[in-house]
Amino acid sequence: MPFFFVVSGYYFDRKVREGAPPLPLFARYAKRLLRIWVLWSLIYLLLPLRLGQWLHEGWWPAVVQQFQHMAAHPMLIVFVGGKGHLWFLMARVMALAMAAICERLRARWLFYAFGAALYVYGLLTGLYAHTPAGFQGLLDPRNGPSMNALLVACGYRIAGYDGRVNPVIAFAVAATGLIGFEAELHWVPQFSSAWPPIIDYGLFTPVFGIGAPLLALAVPRLGGRWWPRIGAEYVLGIYVCHELFVEPAWMLHTWFHSYAWEFLFPVIVFVLALGLTMLLARGRRSRWLVR
C-alpha cells in the first residue's frame, strides 16, 4: 500500500509539472476511482461471501445483515464502502484531493505540512495509541487521508528529483524501512497497554514507501518487459476483486494444514483474481469494473 500511494503522488505531480491543471486532473482521477469504488461496493454488499451464512439463512437475509451493519456504522459508507479493502480507493481520492487543492492555491508546502501532521496523528491513534504517547481517535486512522497524504507527498518529492538514482542507496532505503517497521511491530507492543495494536502503518512505513519506488526508478527493467505491462494494466482490478476468492477459498484450510498450502493459498487467489480481471477487461461494459 505505501508503494501505491507514493506512486500515485509521483504520477500526479509529473502531470502537474507537464502543465495539467490540478483540479481537472484530480477530477479525472477521482471519476475513475469513485466509479470503481461504487460499483464494487454494491457488488460486495449484494454478494455476501460467507457461504455458511447463505446455507443457513439464505441469500436475502445475509444481504439485509450487511446493509444493517453499514447503516449502523455510517462512517464506513464514506471512508470504506461495501468491503473493507475498498478503503484504499477512497483514501487515495481524499489524499489526491488535498494535493490538488493545495496545488491550485500554489501552496505545496501546505500539503507537505498537512501530510506530516496527519501522519503523526495517525501514528498516535494507531500503532502507538496504547503507549504513553498515544490516545484514542474517533476513526480508524488507516481510513481516509490521515496516513496516506504524507505518502502521496513523498511521491511529489520523488517526482521533483532530476538526478540519477543509485540502486544501492534505493535498496538500502527500502530495506531500512521494512526492517524498521518489523522492529516496531516487535517492540511497540511491549510498551502498549492493549493487544493487538493497530499495525497498518508505522514510523518506518514512509521510508519503505520511498525506497521501493526509488528502486524501481533506479532499475527500471527489474521486472522484465512483459510483467510490468500486465501488472500496470490489471493491478487495480486484481485488488478490487480478489476478496471474491479469499473467503470461499479460506474454507479449504479445514482440509489442508501445511506450510506448502500457506504459500499456495495466496497464489491461488492471485491467479483467480487475475483471470477474472482479464475476463472483465475484455468486455466493453464490464471493463468499467476494473479500469
Domain positions in the chain: 2-222, 224-291
Number of residues in the chain: 291
Q: Give the mean pLDDT of 96-103.
A: 94
More confident residue, 156 or 192: 156
Q: Say whether pLDDT at 232 is over 90.
A: no
Element spanning 143, H or E: none
> Quick one: pLDDT at residue 223?
66
> Quick one: pLDDT at residue 12?
94
Q: What percent of the chain has pLDDT over 90?
A: 45
Q: What percent of the chain has pLDDT over 70?
A: 92
Q: Which three cell numbers stand for residue 30?
A: 477521482
Q: Say whether pLDDT at 213 is over 80.
A: yes
Q: Which three cell numbers stand for residue 35?
A: 466509479
Looking at residue 289, the DSSP 8-state letter turns out to be G
Q: CA 256, 262, 266, 268: dihedral to nearest 10 degrees?
A: -40
Q: Give the mean pLDDT of 253-276.
A: 84
> Quick one: pLDDT at residue 246?
87
Looking at residue 165, the DSSP 8-state letter turns out to be P
Q: Alpha-carbon distance 6 to 213, whole Å?
A: 7
Q: Give the mean pLDDT of 262-271.
A: 88
Please, is 189 exposed, middle or buried when counting C-beta atoms within 10 Å of its C-beta (0-12, 13-18, 19+)?
middle
From the list 140, 95, 96, the residue with the least C-alpha distance to 121 is 140
> Quick one: pLDDT at residue 178?
93
Give the predicted TM-score (pTM) of the model.
Answer: 0.89
Q: Which three cell numbers stand for residue 151?
A: 505518502
Q: Say whether pLDDT at 261 is over 90.
A: no
CB atoms within 10 A of CB 206: 22
SS3 132: coil
More confident residue, 31 or 185: 31
Q: Which three cell numbers stand for residue 175?
A: 530495506
Q: Say whether pLDDT at 66 is over 90.
A: no
Radius of gyration of the chain (CA): 20
Give me the phi and psi of 181, to 5 degrees please.
-65, -40
Sorting pLDDT into bands at 50, 70 and 90, what band is 140? confident
Residues ≥6 apart with Cβ < 8 Å to 91: 5, 79, 142, 143, 144, 145, 147, 148
Q: Give the mean pLDDT of 79-93.
A: 91
Sorting pLDDT into bands at 50, 70 and 90, what band is 259? confident
> Quick one: pLDDT at residue 229?
64
Q: Which three cell numbers stand for residue 155?
A: 511521491
